[in-house]
Structure 1
Amino acid sequence: MSRPALTRARAALAAVLAPALAAVALAGCAAPSAQDAQDAGPAEGAPSADGAFPVTLEHAYGETTIEAEPQRVVAWDWSTQDAVIGLGVAPVAMTTYTYGGDDEGVLPWTADALAEQGLETPQLLTYGAEVPFEEIAAAEPDVILAVNSGLTEGDYATLSQIAPTVVQPGDPYVTPWQEQVELVGAALGRSAQAEELVAETSAAITAQAEANPELAGATFAYASGDVSTGQLSLYVPGDVRVQLLTELGMELSPYVEQNAPGDGAFSYLVSLEQADQVSSDVLVAWFGDQAAVDAFTADPLVQRVPAVASGAFAPVVGESFVMATSAVSALSIPWALEDYVPLLAEAVRASGRSSGSAG
């Protein structure tokens, strides 16, 4: 970043964070409360990070050095909190999920993991179009992790004035779940545990793939169920939704790959007038509720999608189920597989495709 840009970022930071930092300063003279100690840092019995620091991590906007084992971790984006908690560390603050979360705004598999480890629910950060810089600063983090985010370089510059910040390594929102765990593991000094978590989650996926051989080689297109604009949104190679299906042995439709614009976005639009060209064995799409599914399948243009016409349609229905298979993480995958794989296998069977045949 150029010096003028950095100067502007610092000026913006001062203006944005002044009220929050003033409040922190007033409270900062007091010793941390017992609740702070309970909520922050490693879970009881978690391995230490001896010898792991300092560590320097590369990401989309450069590199970040973490000098010592973090004790106050802020997780900001769709799924970073799951990697942090999965490695036995309680964030001091994490994203609120109004879509798919419980009454507090916590996703069910995240809540389960917190409960299993005896950890309190962290402070929940407001999620919206703007990053809640004041809330993040007030949490007094010593590291900010956002490894599957869409943060801009300006956001990164501002957050880095609060604490060392590690953002997405490449394009926004497409960091593979394995890489999320590995990056967070390195940032927390828990690379060995990260390897174990990746291995355990991969084993769960492999077991489901082996138990459902009809998935192997079946082609799919993955879409958003909202066609109110007269367009179908298709997810591209590299998107985390697509990745999970390929790990189960399925193959992305050649149509989707050939027409993907390659512009770094995780999806692209196809006119419903061309829906009959979206060729695949199976169509997967997500919906908040059954009423949205019914509206989708009632659309005459949607009915021209070959997989829909053949009954090889796999609707992912319900906000939590949607988040588990969209904000894919090492914690959401085991939670989702029990319902997800039978849904996919049923759609493959409906396609009339036999195991191992071409799509």
Structure 2
Amino acid sequence: MLTAVRSRSRTALAALVTLTALALAGCSASPAEPGARSSPGQAASPAVPSGDAFPVTIPSALGDAVITKRPERVVTWGWSSQDAVLALGVVPVAMPRNTYGGDADGVFPWDADKIKELGGATPVLLSSDSGEVPFEEIVEVRPDVILAPYSGITKEEFAKLSRIAPVVAYPEKPWALPWQDQVEIIGKALGRSAEATALKERTAAYVASLAAANPVLKGRSFLYGAANEADQLNVYRASDPRVALLGDLGMTVSPSVAALDADPKAGSYFYNVSYENVGKIEADVLVMYFGSQKEADRFVADPVISAMPNVRDKRFAPIVGESFVMASSAPTVLSIPWMLDRYVPQLAAAAAKAGA
């Protein structure tokens, strides 16, 4: 999860304000003439019909974004906003570098495929490993809009970013926006609402087709977890997008998810269950993610875990590999087909054992 930005010195803040002024001035410059060399990502955006009217105001939990004209230079922040932007035919001028799950450059495979399809260059990749918003890097690419609806930016970060360009943040809670809402919000910000609606419908139809092709999933209960802390499971609440995606396949959240939740109003998208309580988990299928097969093997080798009925009876459907972890953790119109084509057969096999 993103962390709060550490305080800057007065000198650094003054430099940021100066750079911001330069960036805003640059954004008002005339667009490049046809055939002119453009910055990374910009040239790949295809011509689009008139679409939505501008200006447009997009509210969020942190404040409004007032976008006066169709954005041409788009910056994304967070785990997955770039997916919706690319799916709508626009290559961002900058997006986060993802060393976890990304290729050698830090680009997710489904994003790399889409950039290639659009004929674009790899965008400027923003420093993201520390979790801090790289304000100066964002200033340098002179954005027209900053899209961060699936992120953890704070009120203070929102205010600083808004000095650079309009910022589209999350409507309610950080790290909790369903993929349907994400593509809709980003479509509105880019003046491509009709295209966004079509994308949403096409993706929903794809998920529905997988559900129809795998009826064994219908009604099967599941618990979605992770083993990120010693001797504890991270259990994801029903509102988390990764959990909701399995619900779209016809599965149901195990009652254990609510029963074991000691503080359901905590506001986080997951809670912890100690290994001494994993015997209380009742679910047809246990779904968990691991960065590597080695991690998955180490998890099931623990005597407490190997004794769990789900693991013992092979009703365990692990998501393995960093790219798969990211594709499932922040599902989008691009990552959903990339991941589910490969994962659903494994999930269906585990669900089938629940009825054996």
TM-score by length of 2: 0.90
2:275 maps to what in 1?
272
2:142 maps to what in 1?
140
Structure 1 residues without counterparts, runs of 5 or longer: 1-7, 354-359
Contact 1:278 1:306 in 2 (8 A): no
After superposing on structure 2, the runs of 4+ consecutive aligned residues of structure 1 that deviate more than 4 Å are 8-13, 18-33
Contact 1:83 1:329 in 2 (8 A): yes
1:345 maps to what in 2?
348
How far the C-alpha of 1:25 sits from its partner, in A, is 9.8
- 2:344 maps to a residue whose letter is V
How far the C-alpha of 1:44 sits from its partner, in A, is 2.3
1:90 maps to what in 2?
91
The reply on whether 1:207 has 2:209 as its aligned counterpart is: yes
1:17 maps to what in 2?
16
Structure 2 residues without counterparts, runs of 5 or longer: 1-6
Q: Cα distance 1:102–1:290, how it changes in 2: closer, same or farther (>3 A)?
A: same
CA distance, structure 2, for counterparts of residue 207 and residue 148 of structure 1: 26
Mean CA deviation greater in 204-213 or 260-269: 260-269
2:156 maps to what in 1?
154
CA distance, structure 1, for counterparts of residue 81 and residue 162 of structure 2: 17
CA distance, structure 1, for counterparts of residue 238 and residue 38 of structure 2: 42
How far the C-alpha of 1:259 sits from its partner, in A, is 3.2
1:357 maps to what in 2?
none
Contact 1:96 1:126 in 2 (8 A): yes
Count, aligned residues: 344
The reply on whether 1:299 has 2:302 as its aligned counterpart is: yes
The reply on whether 1:78 has 2:79 as its aligned counterpart is: yes
1:45 maps to what in 2?
47
After superposition, give the CA deviation of every residue in 1:80-102 in whole Å (9 maximum; x if it has no partner): 00111111111110011101111
Contact 1:97 1:107 in 2 (8 A): yes
2:125 maps to what in 1?
124
CA distance, structure 2, for counterparts of residue 92 and residue 46 of structure 1: 18
Identity of aligned residues (%): 47
Partner of 2:196, secondary structure, is helix
1:69 maps to what in 2?
70
TM-score by length of 1: 0.89
Q: Cα distance 1:158–1:21, how it changes in 2: closer, same or farther (>3 A)?
A: closer
CA distance, structure 1, for counterparts of residue 11 and residue 236 of structure 2: 35
How far the C-alpha of 1:118 sits from its partner, in A, is 1.1
Contact 1:69 1:189 in 2 (8 A): yes
Contact 1:46 1:88 in 2 (8 A): no
Equivalent of residue 167 in structure 2, options 165, 174, 177: 165
CA distance, structure 2, for counterparts of residue 167 and residue 330 of structure 1: 19
Q: Cα distance 1:334–1:15, how it changes in 2: closer, same or farther (>3 A)?
A: same
How far the C-alpha of 1:37 sits from its partner, in A, is 5.5
